[in-house]
Amino acid sequence: MAAILVAVTSCTLDKTDYESEISTIVTEHFEYLEVISFTKNDYQISIEALNGTFYKGYNDFRLKITNIQTNESLNTSEITFLPISTNYNGNNSSGPHRYNLNYNSTEDYYSGYAVFTNESTDSENWKLYLSFTDNDQTYTVDQDIIVEAQTNMNLNMTSFTGSDGEQYFIALVAPQKPKIAQNELVAGIYTYNPPSNEADTFPDASQFSYSEVADYTLLLDPRMPEPSMGNHSSLNNEDLTQQEDGLYYGIVNYTMTGNWTLNFRLQNQFGEIIKGTEVSTEFTPGIEGARSELYIDILF
């Protein structure tokens, strides 16, 4: 235990803002709370997410639509969900999301996810575009939303262009609050689908289409990059592979608190590396540790 305490102290001295970063209290959020509720065309639409907030990065959400006239919730409708960001120049973009929401009959809500690629600012805002059907009539609604900055570095994300020319996104999903132990590491991996046709009436979902990357492997090499840590790694880590829910699962073994870099190499189903480089195993005390060209920094 003494050796660990000395190492943490040394790491603190080498980075001026490390002490303030490590003292940040990380709160785990397990409860779905209302993010927004609004009424359009005699329908009450409510969206819940963890902590009642949309954050930059991965967001799992639950949506309910209630007919105000009958006080009945919709449970047979196909609901589409399209988040669009508009900047000060009027340029539109989106991020990975589930366009056709899934209905949970047990809990009576529609579920989906959205990876917001940036937070809301004075010069960039997000709007949701929804469509649903009731009594053979289709309704389309839109609503402004706020996306907050993600202060929990364990839920960071990154985007990049792979060697195949495709645009990829990796968003960390879990753990929210790692432990000094082996932790299940969960991430979403997505790719942008370039449109094959000219844009139709806005918002044209074909211009903002994303897919979950299937059957890839995210090779993992965690390191402590602080100069005093020598860019050391840990044992018993496991690469991330895709499971039935579409997310990627692996194991990361954090041996102490502090700054960690999750060095990645994204490998396709043919064994080809799409992005990322191997990191030297050389112990390098006194200098900041080398990183893969594909990485995400975390802190706990």
The ranges assigned to domains in the chain are 2-26+152-299, 32-148
Give the right CATH number for 32-148 from 2.60.40.10, 3.10.20.740, 3.30.300.210, 3.40.50.2300.
Answer: 2.60.40.10
pLDDT reported for residue 17? 52
pTM of the shown model? 0.91
Angle at 124 between CA 98 and CA 44, to 5 degrees: 50
What's CA 162's distance to the chain center, in Å?
A: 18
pLDDT reported for residue 24? 61
Kindly report the backbone phi and psi dihedral angles of residue 17, in degrees, each rounded to the nearest multiple of 5, phi listed first.
-100, 5
Low-confidence stretches of the chain (pLDDT beneath 50): 1-16, 18-19
pLDDT, tens digit (0-9, with 9 covering 90-100), for 86-126 = 999 999 999 999 999 999 999 999 999 999 999 999 999 99
CA distances from 239 to 38, 176, 280 (A): 42, 19, 18
pLDDT reported for residue 208? 98
Q: Which residues contact 136 (CB under 8 A, 6 or more apart)?
A: none
**Taking a C-beta distance cutoff of 8 angstroms, is the pair 71, 107 a contact?**
no
pLDDT reported for residue 16? 37
Residues, the chain: 300
**Taking a C-beta distance cutoff of 8 angstroms, is the pair 82, 109 a contact?**
no
Could you write out the three-class secondary structure of 77-133? CCCEEEEEEEECCCCEECCCECCECEEECCCCEEEEEEEECCCCECCEEEEEEEEEE
pLDDT reported for residue 1? 37
Token duo for residue 132: 């649903």
Q: Which of 121, 120, 99, 119 is nearest to 110 (CA)?
A: 99
Token duo for residue 158: 């990154």
CA distances from 91 to 6, 123, 143, 184, 215 (A): 51, 11, 18, 38, 33
DSSP 21-60: HHTSPPPP---EEEEEEEEETTEEEEEEEETT-EESEEEE
